[in-house]
A and B are shown apart, each in its own frame.
Chain A
């Protein structure tokens, strides 16, 4: 039993729904109690789908439990077939139905429906949403895709995109365009946008492109074994990864990886002088492993950030995640507890967070800007416009998306020049975000002697022992002298955290207990790049 306040992933049957809802001509009969229909709104509201997910819920109640929930399932499955006439059906149980052990697969088989019926076994008390999607797609492919002669021209399948995926719709379109530049046609893209009939002819492709290992790797491995199709290991998110991907595809197909890059703008946008201010910005990255590992590479090598923390919530990918983090000298955070993530972010004090919708909330709480790079995401991260993450256009989109939450380059120079004057100060916020500028309240400058005197005058006898103790602690513990603290405040807020940390570690290394203005500037000189 584990107390959970919020969860990155839903239960595995929601993963199965992501597959079913992404497809056409497939229907999912889910043995489930009333209430599990909440999952419909993930698709109709968050993703703004204009169709109900193709899911029939058996809706058993407490009074059915002693009686015949199995017949309830059979009726629901038969009615669903008659009403929707799907090309294929998947059947399974949600967490509660798993406990009553009605065996939806066996029951559906006994119905002898005139379409393939694929049973799903998704252990609700062990696994989560991504596993559910991956396993469901795997079982569908296993049931329907058979080895067959290759197409004459070079074709591939694109694997892994689902409903409710982060930018899956646009990634599939962008990767399709990218492959077309090499002269490769897409045989089937699945599950998103496919039908069971199309899945049945996946075997005729020459190879598979795996976009999302989280939701498509089992199918890719199965197709490799059963149909002899190799699959791509590089996920084309970012400029370098996209080029690597093209080379990988070239290796499989013998075609040239040289394609027209005239639409690619990230490298120049990053090289242009306004981007100088991005250099070394501290970034913390958290989400699903695939997006996080890709984002770290872009951050470090294509935008020039410093990656100060990274991790993922999907434990299945802990090993590659740890290896990736090690390359940046980091220990990966593998956790699905957002409070752990919040603590790690607060400790790393980044200037930018790249994360999921939960990290966006964490950023709001900590006052750190955030850009969203991974599921789970909310309604505002399903944009109306074309905005892939993959391929060259994806790289352009990523540059814009990550830079937007930050203070602009020129603005940052002004803030540095006029730091802490009446308009450019912490509370004013970034001007392009529409927050109302508030004039800084001018506090009277206290001198060290005066404030010390005041405190002791107001002190009551009861406070005295505690105060004395505090004074002793202060004498030995690292602390900032008032003047140094005022000087620290003149440093722009977005680098102040770093300046404070550097100064404190500089002081600690040298046994300095009271940090003065001199210590601050000595530390600055010491760390100057």
Chain B
């Protein structure tokens, strides 16, 4: 196992903090994957037409079945009198739950307008929970753009669930963060082979499997954007296992080893369990590393996955990060990844998109990782880009996805090479 830290990592690198126009999604976007993950949950945004339009634009308008999310659109009369707004909300929720008896968890999701008019969704959730108990549990969190950036919506959602989790004294591993089912199954299988258990997931696929938490709970994060959830679990007495995030062969091995050590797994057994998948992951990454090796990469802030991904690209694919932008930098969570990321890149937090575009233009990186609003305009200027949102919507965690993860970055470069070949002829 090669977890040799570079002579100097990025933990002490001064952070460039910026304030200005941000080219990012708000936290409502997390609903797109959370509603797929939590199969008996409905996400009801209390917001404006803009919120509804954002969700369908971000979801790529993929309504083939009636989705388990919707927007209660505030109208003029709701703004005039809040008492009416509460009555209206109760009515819409009752109608929704009557039509969807399969719903066991309802999330009232606050938005920019509902926060600004101070619609108290916490009280509404309490009131509605009482009304629809025991069949439906009603939670609330804010996915508003004035408080949350993109993936922070998942953080707010999970953090809202933590205070309601049942108490337990059992010594259990809690794996925290939504992953696609296929990846979650791989994670659980690896932990079972290591002999680590019992393992619980937050969020659980169905409300009946919602985990408990207590002083003997040990938790590991699989997503780097879960700062508030981390704090909420810590308040419940649970212990965090800091580790690099399970992206790539090295990250996955480091993450598993942190868990394995906590649960007394021997080095020999760990090697025996991980040797084959590690070899597979290395081989799969190597297929793409030849394309990526020596190429420079520039990250615009998007999902908070940027630091762990830059670490993966630098150490396993030979890329050279120029700037790694992230909406928020939780050193307590991505610290182990910062230690491994070789010194060199600018680490920036927040965004002033015009200034950052100027820096990107000056740096002329071989690959720019950015949001959908910037990708085509940058391509048109001759840059090669990777849409950041795909990194969130694609299974990329753990060994068997390491090659796919590298492939997400190598494909735009290979494509550019193919097309320029055609143009040269």
Contacts and interface: CB of A to CB of B under 8 A. Distances in A.
Given A1-B85, A3-B95, A34 B24 contact: yes
Interface stretch (B108-116, B186-194, B216-224, B246-254): B108-116
A3 B96 contact: yes
7 contacts: A7-B52, A34-B24, A35-B28, A38-B54, A38-B373, A41-B372, A339-B66
A218 interface: no
A209 to B, nearest CB: 30
Interface in B74-109: 74-76, 78-79, 85, 88-89, 91-92, 95-96
Contacts of B85: 1
A100 interface: yes
Contact of A33 (B56, B78, B79, B146): B146
Interface string B21-39: 1111111110000000000
A35 B373 contact: no
Interface stretch (A56-64, A255-263, A509-517): A56-64
Contacts of A76: 21
B74 A62 contact: no
Interface stretch (B173-181, B200-208, B375-383): B375-383
Contacts, number: 189
A3 B72 contact: yes
A57 B21 contact: yes
Most chain-A CB neighbours within 10 Å: which of B21, B70, B145? B145
Interface in B43-91: 44, 46, 48-50, 52-54, 56-58, 61, 63-64, 66-67, 69-76, 78-79, 85, 88-89, 91
Given A3-B95, A5-B66, A56 B21 contact: yes
Given A33-B145, A61-B146, A50 B74 contact: no
B149 interface: yes
Nearest to A98: B113
Contacts of A79: 354
Interface centre among A40, A49, A79, A361 (most CB of B within 10 A): A40
Contact of A11 (B48, B72, B89): B48
Given A2-B73, A361-B63, A365-B64, A34 B49 contact: no
- Category for how many chain B residues contact A: 35 or more
Contacts of A45: 372, 375-376
Contacts of B122: none
Interface of B: 20-29, 44, 46, 48-50, 52-54, 56-58, 61, 63-64, 66-67, 69-76, 78-79, 85, 88-89, 91-92, 95-96, 112-113, 115-117, 144-147, 149, 354, 371-377, 379-380
Contact of A1 (B58, B92, B117): B92
A11 B61 CA distance: 16
Contacts of B75: 1-2, 125-126
Interface size, A (range):
35 or more
B147 A62 contact: yes
Contacts of B95: 3
Given A6-B52, A7-B49, A124-B49, A44 B372 contact: yes
Contacts of B372: 40-41, 44-45
B83 to A, nearest CB: 13
B38 to A, nearest CB: 17
B76 A5 contact: no
A11 B48 CA distance: 8
Given A10-B53, A96-B112, A58 B21 contact: yes
B71 to A, nearest CB: 5
A51 B380 contact: yes
